[in-house]
Structure 1
Amino acid sequence: MENRKGLVVDVSVSAATGMAEREESLKLLQSNTKSGATVGEDRGYDVDTDYQALTHGAQ
């Protein structure tokens, strides 16, 4: 979801596993963001494993 205009950029469907939202958000970010992009996520995504995956993917 593009934050400023509320534009849907991409969607994804997966099985509910307890980690599916985090896994799918990482896939969507990898396929839709460009270098220098800023990203905002809900509070539930601030766990260490998600943070590591996001920062590792940015390098």
Structure 2
Amino acid sequence: MEVFQHQLLSLIGGLICFCTLVKCISFMQDFFSYIWSTLPWAFFRSMKEWAGK
């Protein structure tokens, strides 16, 4: 019974860690894609206007 309980708790802990890791990776992917997709365009647009004047 003790071995089964240890394996069960280890499996549950591993699943929780895996789900948390997947959520963290998806959040970081969304966060960084938002930053890197919006900032460079705005930056280069303003630099173009500044250099053109």
> Is TM more than 0.5 here?
no
Of structures 1 and 2, the one with the larger relative CO (CA 8 A, separation 6+) is: 1
Q: What is the TM-score of this pair, normalised by structure 1?
A: 0.27
Q: Which has the higher helix share?
A: 2
